[in-house]
Amino acid sequence: MIQVPLLDLSYQWRSEKDHLLASVERVLERGQYILGPEVRALEQEIAAYCGVGHAVAVGNGTDALILLLKAFDIGPGDEVITTPFTFFATAEAIVQVGATPVFADVDPATYLLTAAAVEKRITARTKAILVVHLFGQMADMTELGRLAEAHRIHLLEDACQSIGAAWDGHGVGSQSDGAALSFFPTKNLGAYGDGGMVLMRDEDRALRLRRLRVHGSVAKYVHQEIGWNSRLDELQAAMLRVKLQRLDAWTNERIAIAQCYHAAFADLPVHLPRPAAMARHVYHLYTVTVPQRDQVQRALAEDGIQTGVYYPIPLHLQEALRSLGHQPGDFPVSEQLAQQALSLPLYPGMEGWRQDAVIRAFRKAVLTLPKVQG
């Protein structure tokens, strides 16, 4: 029986129930359900929250990535450098616009791309870096920004897991050409359905994105280019506005739980997701690496602790991307993380007794494992 789930969203619903229901009622009473005042307000509120000039709400995070790439005219013949240790949608978006994903391996301590690894993969065809702020921690945007500038390529962010995170005090989207957010229910700012957003500095490109999300339309039935139908609906926007009010408090809860785990596991032979000095980590997931991951996961399950494996197959070894021609061994750090990464329960509203149960069970599982040979 599960005593501690990996994630429990019921607390967020229960603690904001009245406000959420009121926001739904407001939209239903108003009678405008697509691209109305709630979406416009949410765009302004999130742009301000992240410290970015413009925000364009779309249907989901994957569309946000695709539209972000499109806004920079990235397509056939272009290469986009990214990480193989991420959710599939990162590379899928690159392929969907007709460009080629080029992988660089990640840093084993942060699980993130570094400027040094990216630089080795730059060619004459490289059009952009699509950095992923995995698990809620931002990559080194100072170094990546310098690299992108030196090579005159775009720096774009997959910030789907990292709203509220910062690098050197600056939020996602504020130190790059643009960023994609997801409001999938399990994300740190989760809707009650799908949702996404593109953040960007440049006003003209943001205007173009506003067209692209509605069939390239500049006015009703006037179409300037081929676009999409990818819109956030008013109901989701209204509920997200309620939850945005609580995001900082919920993020601080995540950080406090992570700090408890760091302290409780400091003596274990396990790699912990301690943030880089310049990073504000928002712990979308608390992901450790441990050599006998599958055994540890089984032992925790026996103690009623649910855990997650993000991600079991690195993207360069996915069947769907076999045309890229990669082999096992091409990105050894990502491959090792796929074997060793384990995410422990961590969510706002997680009770102290559940945190204690995770700490006890994880310590026991790691300390009673037979030692790895070699």
Ligand X SMILES: *Cc1c(COP(=O)(O)O)cnc(C)c1O
Binding residues for ligand X, per CB under 6 A?
60-62, 86-87, 89-90, 132, 158, 160-161, 182, 184, 194, 196
- Minimum distance of ligand X from residue 333's CB (angstroms): 17
CB of 339 to ligand X, least distance (A): 20
Cβ closest to ligand X, residue 161 vs residue 307: 161
Closer to ligand X by CB, 161 or 306: give it: 161
Nearer to ligand X, 89 or 299 (CB): 89
- Contact between 239 and 233 under an 8 Å Cβ cutoff? The reply is no
Residue nearest to ligand X (CB): 61
> Which residue's entry shows tokens 């840093």?
107
Count Cα atoms within 13 angstroms, Cβ side, for 335. Answer: 10
Q: Give me the least distance between CB of 94 and ligand X, in Å please.
A: 11
> DSSP labels for 231-280?
--BHHHHHHHHHHHHHHHHHHHHHHHHHHHHHHHHTTSSSB--PPPTTEE
Q: Which residues fall within 8 angstroms of residue 221, CB to CB, at 6 or more apart?
A: none
192 vs 363, which CB is nearer to ligand X?
192
Q: Nearer to ligand X by C-beta: 184 or 261?
A: 184
Query: In the structure encoding, which two tokens stand for residue 185, read together?
Result: 């229910």
The least distance separating ligand X from the CB of residue 86, rounded to whole angstroms, comes to 5
Surface-to-core class of residue 115, CB atoms within 10 Å of its CB (0-12 exposed, 13-18 middle, 19+ buried): buried
- How far, CA to CA in Å, does 160 sit from each of 1, 36, 155, 163, 187? 31, 24, 16, 7, 7
Least gap, CB of 183 to ligand X (angstroms): 7
